[in-house]
Amino acid sequence: MSALHQEFVPKPYTNSVESGSVAWKSPSNIALVKYWGKHGQQLPKNTSISFTLDHCATSTRLEFQSKQDQGFDITVLLDGKAQPDFVPKIEKFFTIAMPYLPFLEDYSFTVHTSNSFPHSSGIASSASGMSALALCLLDLEAQLNGNGLSEEGFKKKASFLARLGSGSAARSIDGGLVVWGEHQEIAGSSDLFAVPYPEAVHEVFHDFCDTVLLVDTGEKIVSSTVGHGLMHGHPFAEQRFDQANNNMQAIKPILASGDLDAFITLVESEALSLHAMMLTSSPYFILMKPATLAIINKIWSFRKETGIPACFTLDAGANVHLLYPAQHKQQVRDLIENELKAHCKEGAFIHDQVGQGALRL
């Protein structure tokens, strides 16, 4: 039995709501210090920090109609087309969210969702999708509650719920830099929900850019569930969790001072360490493709030749996130057009940058 977090269990509802709809747009995020390995009910083994993105986002409109019978009734439409494949994941999310949203069986739900990026792009839509859904459900709860939560309480519970759907989704509610996972040296940090990074941040990071270079647009080789599972009994698991927690400590002066050389070293090492976990797990996986390595090498050559502080990070897949300060946008975008695009599937990439967080529509 997982512990019940009383703080997020609502008081008996005061209003009755027959039907209606609510809508949110929620962004994706890119981790600088990676979350990889979990325990209990979607609790992280180490602290992570991410930039919230802006353009890569999911818009979700949740329609609800009260019903009498028991059980969940969920229909999902992606760009207007029914997606029965998405339902089991949402049912699983509803099952663990029930104590915190006890109305989930009282309504028939239709989830109308669309992504700003192509669904087949290989970009994790679970962070933006789950956070958008969690926010919609909380908006419905606010109607049932009358007074509802404070703005801060709302965000906290939204992050808590999003985490139950997909761990990294916890970091998609707030904008800027967001931390998830308790860390001694980061005030207010928690395993249960993400919080805005509370320390000083140099202005270079306020509008940092991320171009997602789409190398592989197919299904993920390793699902997140399987991937996190590989960390159980992994020979380097404890060292990895220590490394990530140490990197959280190390990134603080870097974020405060804008030391981009140190930023690059930390961020690229984090990405490669994440992949090293996959290379050394049982069973083992190689998630990079030849094009991933070709792009990384070209980024390194570009950095050496021009001195421009562009670097890469990776998620649990082959796509490359190219991170760079906004002031170097033009030169980096020339590099993408002239050199990197050729390695992307059908020449596809998405220009993005640090965003403001989720938005009610």
CB of 228 to ligand PMV, least distance (A): 6
State which residue, 107 or 160, has the beta carbon closest to ligand PMV: 160
| 160/221 Cα distance (integer angstroms) | 28
Q: Strands 73-78 and 107-115: what pairing? A: parallel
Q: Using CB under 6 A, which of the segments 137-145, 161-169, 198-206, 276-284 binds ligand PMV?
A: 161-169
CB of 107 to ligand PMV, least distance (A): 26
Q: Where are the alpha helices (DSSP H) in the chain?
A: 87-97, 126-145, 151-165, 224-229, 237-257, 260-279, 290-306, 329-335
State which residue, 166 or 281, has the beta carbon closest to ligand PMV: 166
Q: x-or-dash pattern for ligand PMV, window 206-225, by CB under 6 A?
A: ------------------x-
Write down the residue that tokens 């800027």 correspond to: 176
Q: Applying CB under 6 A, does 316 fall inside the site for ligand PMV?
A: yes
Q: Applying CB under 6 A, does 193 fall inside the site for ligand PMV?
A: no
- Reference 359, options 155, 73, 199; nearest CA is 155
CB of 125 to ligand PMV, least distance (A): 10
Please identify which residue in 52, 125, 166, 353 interacts with ligand PMV, judged by CB under 6 A: 166
SS3 of residue 138 by DSSP: helix
Q: Using CB under 6 A, which of the segments 69-77, 163-171, 258-266, 278-286 binds ligand PMV?
A: 163-171
Q: Applying CB under 6 A, does 131 fall inside the site for ligand PMV?
A: no
Q: Using CB under 6 A, which of the segments 2-10, 165-173, 298-306, 320-328 binds ligand PMV?
A: 165-173
CB of 252 to ligand PMV, least distance (A): 18
| 27/355 Cα distance (integer angstroms) | 8
Q: Applying CB under 6 A, does 34 fall inside the site for ligand PMV?
A: yes
Write down the residue that tokens 């979700």 correspond to: 60
| 24/128 Cα distance (integer angstroms) | 10
**DSSP states along 173-194:** SBSSEEEES--TTSTT--SSSE
CB of 293 to ligand PMV, least distance (A): 18
User: Are 154 and 11 in contact, with CB atoms under 8 Å apart?
Assistant: no
What are the residues binding ligand PMV (CB under 6 A)? Answer: 31, 34-36, 48, 124, 126, 166-168, 224, 315-316
